[in-house]
Chain A
């Protein structure tokens, strides 16, 4: 056991050492040349965003026709052991302690100003790559922080849509991403969402679903290994990752994160905005018994939404946005419609919808009973 640990640590350290030279190079050169450039944010109002753990989405205005603003965010990176299924532990790395990280909301033209904290209690360097940002590998080159450090990045949100953000430390990108380090930033058009005819699309609630493909090593008896540190899990995990077959596919970090007492809720007549991110792997959400009224499959709001979809596609490394107005009460399952992944690997959520039943939309004309009339 001692030898094995040493080997595992060795692998993790080797990865860190491999990463180090490029950090040294890139840490200095691409720093923005502030001299000579006017501060475009001078005089803009600053607002502090209050992030909340998913599936909830931070309070926000759907329409903001005011002048662009600087929205200040703070996120703390947390490495921690979590339970993804009964008896299955996982060395997670998280933005703000949740999988996915909290959903950030701004409007097109706003400035996103993020302070990223890597507490001393962590063991690894981390950073953040915003798919919504322009330059410096999405900000990753400017945000690499070691344990005990913090950094602040500002970027202009020039494109409207739901965009993935994720950790991208040199040499360890896929490992950090499939360990939980991803989330969504929602950049709303200042005028709010519009359908294909330009009419407003509004919503009563918003939920974030972050889908994660996990690659958890098993021991020689087929039992999932319980590791004490991320470093110890590293080498074995990469081996499973390279097989490309996840051992778990879960929403929001664990099986059952969005079912039972954690189920999403809505009322008949309400429109719900579902933000579905998948940082690493393609997926296909489906609301059993419902639809997607307006769906931005690629998540980008200056494209007209698709309508009346049954299932929508989320390309790995992107976030899709769908609205649905609930018309019938009951328990809805929101699944990855690769049903093997939904039922066997964990990718199932529930929406509990209260309200009055519409017999016009559906009625059980005859309950199950013996076969008659043949």
Chain B
């Protein structure tokens, strides 16, 4: 951290213009929405085990620590194909309408696109974290805890309760990509959140375990699995393009995997922590 600050101060001294740019408000851009101040009741992602008993992660109010700008709509197939044409992205497995949201992308395809777009524009494009996604999604964010039941003497009670809740929540969803706006806007003006395209986030799967005897907590992170957000939170193997095989605990996989990116406001702002 100290080293970074030194670098920063050097930059500050040498390139005043760049600093000013870093502090300047985001330019008005209809394709981006700036999340200035937002809060949401948020469930910590990952799996939580108390001894050998699976429990829900903690839930609580989170709020923006710093504003961020996020795409109003999902990245389209046309956008993605420009990256393919420029050899920045891999060719997808099937054809798609350039006007519709891009689907059938893996986490790595999404990262490659963000990197290419950053090079193209000189801006800092990246996937949102799961927290950022939830803050941007607001009322469209869904808690992924299906049940509070967890009986150490009978693990099947939780399995069955989860299965029943998922089965009840299951609804037929036409997987065909739809034009932007089909699933409406949320209170921030973001389109199609929790529609039929799940969006990759940069957040890794984490398993948290507490040892009830000692109180010791351990965490094991697996970044081979990332969170895709949508109608429900999905833990998805990063290289999957077709989500049908994976994801949610028992049932219902996401319909499609796509993306919407965050435009970072430059390292300078982030170092300042606002």
Contact = CB atoms under 8 A, between A and B. Distances in A.
28 contacts: A86-B172, A86-B173, A221-B95, A222-B94, A259-B251, A260-B163, A260-B251, A261-B170, A263-B163, A330-B155, A331-B156, A331-B159, A331-B163, A344-B245, A350-B163, A352-B160, A352-B163, A352-B164, A354-B160, A366-B52, A367-B51, A367-B52, A367-B53, A368-B209, A369-B209, A369-B220, A370-B218, A370-B220
A343 interface: yes
Contact of B174 (A86, A328, A353, A357): A86
A364 interface: yes
Contacts of A243: none
B174 A263 contact: no
A352 B167 CA distance: 12
A10 interface: no
B174 A329 contact: no
A45 B174 CA distance: 53
> How many B residues are at the interface, by size bracket?
20 to 34
Nearest to B54: A367
Contacts of A328: 156
Interface residues of A, number: 27
A66 interface: no
A356 interface: yes
A260 B166 CA distance: 8
B54 to A, nearest CB: 8
Contacts of B175: 86-87
A259 B51 CA distance: 31
Given A87-B175, A263-B167, A343 B245 contact: yes
B168 interface: yes
Interface in A206-237: 221-222
B9 interface: no
B154 A356 contact: yes
Interface in A253-294: 259-261, 263
A26 B26 CA distance: 84
A260 B167 contact: yes
Interface string B141-181: 00000000000011111011001101110101111100000
